[in-house]
Structure 1
Amino acid sequence: MSKHSPIGIFDSGVGGTSIWKEIHSLLPLEHTIYLADSTNAPYGEKPKEEIVALSVKNTEKLLDMGAKIIVVACNTATTNAIKHLRSTYRVPFIGIEPAIKPAALNTRTKCIGILATKGTLSSALFAETSSLYSRDIKVIEVVGKGLVQEIEKGGKDSPKVEKMLRELLDPMIKGGIDHLVLGCSHYPYLIPTLKKMLPPEVSIIDSGMAVAKQTRLVLQSMDLLANTKEAAPEFYTNGSPSVLRSLLSPIADSFKIETLDF
């Protein structure tokens, strides 16, 4: 493994590109390989055993491609499978969890909202993190049912998604939240719409930059940070590349975006 081996990133579809953007911005010299497992999206409604199996499949594909570190850019895969991955493979893993801690520490109304998938909200790891930081505050958890599927179809700005979000946000707004935690890597693509719907005093929190900083920290500790630019980012999907290309626009033309069976 060398400094110029790639950073591998996988998600249950295209949403993890929101994490990739933060990593690429912070670590522009790094060669990155992104796997969009769109065929199996969303992971959030699958049983834990299947989530683990899919995470293993994606991990082994990235290891075959020479990954020096793997970013699990999926909240559901992190909360359900990362312990198994870390105990099975020698490569370091970076996970992503809903950013409950900053929301809980900074809330003024003592009420925060978490929008996530069923698989994340029902996981043991999420329950452990939530209980650690939310003892003295009210947490309104809402399953973003159907949102991932619409984003995977390219409908992040559609009237249908707007209607879905209004219904999902209603109990949070009525409950008086002042922080909204996005617990799915697809959801940052909804921030422009969310900002139009939420009261101006509500802060929206996602985990993208925290994941990028942790990736840099781990690579530094292992002396594996790239020091020259060796290769352009690569993106592979087992679904349609058109949505992936649209989310990466206008920089998509300079990247390799291909369909791959995995």
Structure 2
Amino acid sequence: MSPTAPLGVFDSGVGGLSVLAELRRALPGQDLLYLADTAHVPYGARSDEDIRTLTDRAVTALHGLGAGAVVVACNTASAFSLAHLRARFDMPIIGLVPAVKPAVQATRSGVVGVLATPGTLRGTLLADVVREWAGPAGVRVLNAVSTELVPLVEAGKADHDQTRAVLREVLTPLVQAGADQLVLGCTHYPFLAPSIRAEFGTTFALLDSGAAVARHTRRVLDGAGLRAPDTASGRVRYFVTGDPARSAPVFAALLAANMHNGAELHRAPAPRIERLHP
């Protein structure tokens, strides 16, 4: 593979656009292929084997499009699929690790919350990182889970009364327990930051792994000789497995939110989105 090979980025839906924004900042010269499996989102409540199968299909499709490396920009897919993918593909496969370490290092109350999907909580990846970092530090980690938040973000309702009601329900117990750090354990959840702040103010510091995975990806591509020079201007192609017309308005809103650091969801021209059948 050469530095001209694009970098594939995969998520079950639109949440990985939060990681894509960080990758574009860290790798300005890299061509990117973003694939959202909108035909099968959300992954959180799916079986372990179903998650692995769908992730394998998506990475195979990105490899077929010429990707020289792939970022699995989905916490649930990372929790169940990384070992399988790395055994199957002769290219770098980069996954997500929930940002528990920086949360543990930053907490003053000794209580950290993790907002995640059922699939991420069911996998071993989160449990392993909690055991490694929170246990030795004597930090209490509390999980909050919802099956509703990912579909709400997918529907373009990241900053909506319905979403805020769900957040109040699932996060209030963390407030009552004294959590001062909130790990956003799903790539969809950075888009909920305005709603979380509207409901809870500065109660939580919000942490996600997007910037860290982008820095790690840059190092991996450097080591593999796959990083395009920063003097170039990288392009992005967008793919979905569902209906592109249905996805376009949400893509436009979330891409605009990324451009404005997630402060608010602005309207923007819809990007060109291609349909892919893995």
1:88/1:209 CA distance change after superposition, 3 Å: same
Corresponding residue number in structure 1 for 2:247: 241
Larger deviation, residues 31-40 vs 197-206: 197-206
Q: Does residue 257 in structure 1 map to residue 257 in structure 2?
A: no
Tell me the distance in 2 between the aligned counterparts of 1:238 and 1:246: 19
1:106-121 mapped onto 2 (5 Å cutoff): 106-121=106-121
1:161–1:254 Cα change, 3 Å: closer
1:168 corresponding residue in structure 2? 170
Once the two structures are TM-superposed, the CA of residue 25 in structure 1 deviates from its matched residue by 1.4
Shift of 1:116: 0.3
Does 2:69 match 1:69? yes
Quick check: 1:116–1:184 contact (8 Å CA) kept in 2? yes
Q: 1:32: how far off?
A: 0.1
Cα deviation for residue 15 of structure 1 reads 0.5
In the TM superposition, what whole-angstrom CA distance separates every residue of 1:168-192 from its partner, at most 9, and x where no partner exists?
A: 1110000000100000000000011
Contact 2:252 2:271 (8 Å CA) reproduced = no
**Secondary structure of the residue that 2:173 maps to in structure 1?**
helix
Partner Cα distance (1:88, 1:117) in 2: 26
Specify the alignment match of 2:53 in structure 1: 53
Q: 2:238 aligned with 1:232, yes or no? A: no
- Structure 1 residue 131 displacement after superposition: 1.1
Distance 2:247 2:126 in 1: 32
Number of aligned residue pairs: 262
Match of 1:226, SS? coil
SS across alignment from 1:29: coil
Structure 2: gaps spanning 5 or more residues: 260-267
Two-structure CA RMSD over aligned residues (Å): 1.7
Structure 1 distance, partners of 2:241, 2:253, is 16
Check conservation: 1:114, 1:180, Cα contact below 8 A.
Answer: yes
Distance 1:122 1:223, change over 3 A: same
Distance 1:158 1:67, change over 3 A: same
Percent sequence identity over matched residues?
39
Q: CA deviation at 1:260?
A: 2.7
Larger mean Cα displacement after TM superposition, 119-128 or 227-236: 227-236
CA apart distance, 1:96: 0.7
Q: How many angstroms apart in 2 are the aligned matches of 1:10 and 1:121?
A: 20
1:125-159 CA-to-partner distances (Å, cap 9, x unmatched) read: 22111111111111110112210011111111111
Deviation at 1:2, TM superposition (A): 1.2
Question: Given that residues 104 and 137 in structure 1 are in contact (C-alpha distance below 8 angstroms), is that contact kept between their aligned partners in structure 2?
Answer: yes
Query: Aligned partners of 1:157 and 1:199: how far apart in 2?
Result: 14
CA distance 1:197–1:254, shift in 2 (3 Å): closer
**Secondary structure of 2:274 counterpart:** strand
Partner secondary structure for residue 39 of structure 1: coil
| Of 234-243 and 11-20, the range deviating more from structure 2 | 234-243
Tell me what 1:31 maps to. Answer: 31
Q: In structure 1, what is the Cα distance between the partners aligned to 2:53 and 2:269? A: 33
CA displacement 1:216-249 (0-9 Å, x = unmatched): 0001112221125365210011232322232223
CA distance in 1, matches of 2:189, 2:215: 20
SS in structure 1 opposite 2:141?
strand
Report runs of 4+ in structure 1 exceeding 4 Å deviation: 250-255
